[in-house]
């Protein structure tokens, strides 16, 4: 396997994990309500998504509310996932592989 294709696939997998963790955290927040911070699984998902949300908070302007940053993070991860899929498709075509 080519190194560039491996790196693109690994980056896409990391984006998928962060995206699914954000989806899970959102669903669990809807189900648990105000008690979500006492939930063990919510805390685990918070540990997974924390670094990604902090990066997005760092790159976004201050007038964006902190409550909106997780949703913005999900949308950025979604578009990054699409872009990495296109990169992977291009690299597969470049190397003559049927991925």
Record the pTM. 0.87
48 has pLDDT over 90: yes
pLDDT digits (tens, 9 = 90+) for 52-78: 999 999 999 999 999 999 999 999 999
pLDDT digits (tens, 9 = 90+) for 5-20: 999 999 999 999 999 9
99 has pLDDT over 90: no
- Work out the burial of residue 17: count CB atoms within 10 Å of its CB; fewer than 13 is exposed, 13-18 middle, 19 or more buried: middle
Annotated domain spans of the chain: 3-95
- Residue 1: the pLDDT is 66
Cα(first)–Cα(last) distance of the chain, in Å?
11
Say if residues 97 and 38 touch (Cβ distance below 8 Å).
no
Residues 6+ apart with CB under 8 A from 76: 56
């Amino acid at each position: 396997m080519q190194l560039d294709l491996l790196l693109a696939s690994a980056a896409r997998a990391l984006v998928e994990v962060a995206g699914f963790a954000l989806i899970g955290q959102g669903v669990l927040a809807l189900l648990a309500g105000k008690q979500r911070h006492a939930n063990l699984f919510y805390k685990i998902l918070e540990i997974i998504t924390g670094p990604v949300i902090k990066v997005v908070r760092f790159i976004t302007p201050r007038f964006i509310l902190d409550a909106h940053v997780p949703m913005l993070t999900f949308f950025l991860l979604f578009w990054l996932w699409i872009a990495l899929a296109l990169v992977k498709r291009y690299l597969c075509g470049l190397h003559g592989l049927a991925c």
